[in-house]
Amino acid sequence: MCGIVGAVAERNVVEILLEGLKRLEYRGYDSAGVALLQADGTFSRTRRIGKVQALADAVDASPVLGGTGIAHTRWATHGGVTEDNAHPHQSSDRIAVVHNGIIENYETLRSGLESQGYTFTSDTDTESIAHTVHSLLKTNETLLGAVQQAVARFHGAYGTVVMDKEDPSRIVVARSGSPLVIGLGLGENFVASDQMALLPVTRRFIFLEEGDVAEITRRSVSIFDANGAPVEREIIESNVEHDSGDKGGYRHYMLKEIHEQPTVVRNALQHRLVGNDIADNVFGEGADAIFASVKHVQIVACGTSYHSGMTARYWLEEFAGVSCNVEIASEFRYRKSVVLPNSLLITISQSGETADTLAALRLAKEIGYSSSLAICNVAGSSLVRESSLSYMTRAGAEIGVASTKAFTTQLAGFLLLTMALGKHNGMSSDTSNEIAHALHSLPAKLEETLTMTQGIEDLAEEFADKHHSLFLGRGDQYPIAMEGALKLKEISYIHAEAYASGELKHGPLALIDDEMPVIVVAPNNELLEKLKSNVEEVRARGGIMYVFADKDAHFKGDDTMRVIDVPHCDSPIAPIIYTVPLQLLSYYVALIKGTDVDQPRNLAKSVTVE
């Protein structure tokens, strides 16, 4: 969603702030802005609608200098996409603020502040932060004191950075519900909503915790917890690859990330799957003892990560004999659910910062889940820090909004988890060996599957002028059909729905005509014959089918059915393999349609607000 970067340095920080914003742009991108405290003691603020490049061009045209500054990319929540609503927001030409999250009581704050004489120039909730801090500076000697008092008045979620023109030596930051990370430099310090923004300037980070307020100067970082008590937070050396922000010669991040899948999956399995066994502590210290008593798994996640949970349910129940529920995090967090004895809560998240998933984890702890496992791609993220166990997917930075390699590495992790839980639940060594064998073959199979690109490019032409599409699958391929439909709608804006193919005749069959392409994922498994009947039901009604199938499934193509051969693979990894052609299909359809593949309209990479 929105992105924050801030800096306190001797040197001019404008380039650092703009580079940071570019690295965060994938999260939210309808407008951007930067405010600097200039050497003459004045504020300079530049804001633009559109991409960060528009802001960079504006800064190029009228250069600004300053060692203390804050910057922001916005994904509109309160107030439309206008320059007035873009951050930073100011109060009385003294305070400048950037903010991620939502201040839920902003209307009350606003009317109180207006009655004190403050004039609002935007429709945002954020402007009330600026005026609140400004008003409290009348009775507080320090910016830190004013911010500490201000946050007590805010309801909702915020990661915010505040700058005071009267004191250019410091910025004050506060976190509650929206992540902030402090980057430590030499004689200069930084803050951002994601470490990615700061990798060009530092690798040493402090992840703020809920309720923390921190004062950052060039040479010091002082952190105070929710009660105002000074606290020390651990300094973490980041091992995220520095160049992960590059497209590496690919036309889009999404294409690069699709092609990285064999490598990242190989990486993810290395030293974790040893022969036919899982190495110790793959899921964190103490995992084995916890797994020994697990009888039930509750998975919560959003978006693509939810689809990986849906897939995992088939594996956990079929192979490991562990009962499993999967729920969308935004539903789980707002309903009363029954906690079964010996239940493990699993959250799945690429970013580890998705607001609903995090809230679901926090609720789960309150209602009695004794242990939680985060399957996540970002070390040090809130989800990882707040879970008892964690498994890092090792997908590397994923920039494309539409998730690809994060999904397939999550699935690889779930197969390992299936083995780990199965061990305590009477899984036969044959089953365990079968999964291990399939996993060993996975990187090479993914490579082979990527050679399907040419055929899929041609196929994409046939979709580009369609407005609707249907994706069908059965068993563990049903969630893959859901993921395929999500990819297509996300980046090509073609309406796509997924159905378990057995459900077809209970409604969706009414939609079938020759304008509705129907995509089927059909590995050669025990449900094949049933799936074939469903295919015939569509054909009999004039539908045009696109069947992604194992050669051995013996589908015969004709005018109404295009059969696309997918490399043969062992059945435990089939959901992962069949994901790849669907990713490629969405990508090439989007390319032909000319949509913004990496930053599709209205979407954000990391949804840190409800």
88 secondary structure, DSSP code: P
Q: Please list, in sequence order, all residues whose beta carbon lies within 8 angstroms of the beta carbon of residue 353, skipping any fewer than 6 positions away.
A: 178, 179, 378, 381, 382, 383, 606, 608
Pick the closer one to ligand G6P by CB: 120 or 493. Answer: 493
CA–CA distances in Å: residue 217 to residues 72, 183, 570: 20, 12, 56
CB atoms closer than 10 angstroms to residue 425: 16
The closest alpha carbon to 1, from 66, 62, 97, 78, belongs to 78
Task: State the DSSP code for 117.
Answer: T
Q: What distance in Å separates the CA atoms of residue 114 and residue 504, rounded to the nearest whole number?
A: 57
Distance CA 505, CA 549 (A): 22
**CA nearest to 314, candidates 522, 476, 523:** 476
Residue 2 annotated to the active site: yes
Helices (H), 94-214: 106-115, 126-136, 143-151
How far is Cα 495 from Cα 478, in angstroms, rounded to an integer? 18
- Asked if residues 47 and 83 have their Cβ atoms less than 8 Å apart, the reply is yes
Q: How many residues does the chain have?
A: 610
User: Which residue, 191 or 482, has its beta carbon nearer to ligand G6P?
Assistant: 482
Alpha-carbon 431 to chain mean position: 33
304, 406 Cβ separation under 8 angstroms: yes
- How near is the Cβ of 413 to ligand G6P at its closest, in Å? 13
Rounded Cα–Cα distance for residues 276 and 434 (Å): 9
Looking at 22, 405, 532, 605, which residue is catalytic? 605
Q: How far is the CB of 551 from ligand G6P (least distance, A)?
A: 32
Q: How far is the CB of 406 from ligand G6P (least distance, A)?
A: 6
Name the residue nearer to ligand G6P (CB basis): 352 or 572.
352
- Residue 411, CA distances (Å) to 57, 308, 408 in order: 42, 6, 5
Which spans in 25-118 are helix H? 52-61, 106-115
Smallest gap from Cβ 604 to ligand G6P, in A, equals: 6
Nearer to ligand G6P, 132 or 347 (CB): 347
- Compute the distance between CA of residue 37 and CA of residue 269 in angstroms, rounded to an integer: 48
Give the nearer residue to ligand G6P in terms of CB position, either 388 or 606. 606
Minimum gap (Å) between residue 73 Cβ and ligand G6P: 15
**Can you read off the two tokens belonging to residue 187?**
């004689």
**340/603 with CB nearer ligand G6P:** 603
Nearer to ligand G6P, 348 or 520 (CB): 348
Nearer to ligand G6P, 34 or 401 (CB): 401
Tokens of 48: 């633009």
Identify the CA nearest to 393 among candidates 306, 267, 309. 267
Q: What is the DSSP letter of 438?
A: H
Q: Which residue spans within 145-212 are E strands per DSSP? A: 156-164, 170-176, 181-184, 189-192, 204-207
- Chain positions contacting ligand G6P, by CB under 6 A: 302-305, 349-351, 354, 357, 401-403, 603, 605-607
Q: Does the N-terminal peptide bond of residue 572 adopt cis geometry, omega within 30 degrees of 0?
A: no
Catalytic residue among 2, 302, 376, 569: 2
d(CA 206, CA 204): 7
Beta bridge partners of 162: 97, 172
Closer residue to ligand G6P in complex, CB, 607/609: 607
Shortest separation between residue 300's beta carbon and ligand G6P, angstroms: 10
C-beta separation of 240 from 393 below 8 A: no
By beta-carbon distance, which residue lies closest to ligand G6P?
303
Q: Closest separation between CB of residue 220 and ligand G6P, Å?
A: 33
Closer residue to ligand G6P, CB minimum distance, 350 or 431: 350
Q: Which two tokens stand for residue 147?
A: 């911010």
Distance CA 463, CA 480 (A): 19
Is 605 among the catalytic positions?
yes
Cα(238)–Cα(247) distance, integer angstroms: 21
Measured from the CB of residue 605, what is the shortest distance to ligand G6P in angstroms? 6
| CB of residue 606 to ligand G6P, shortest distance in Å | 5
The least distance separating ligand G6P from the CB of residue 310, rounded to whole angstroms, comes to 13
Catalytic (active-site) positions: 2, 605
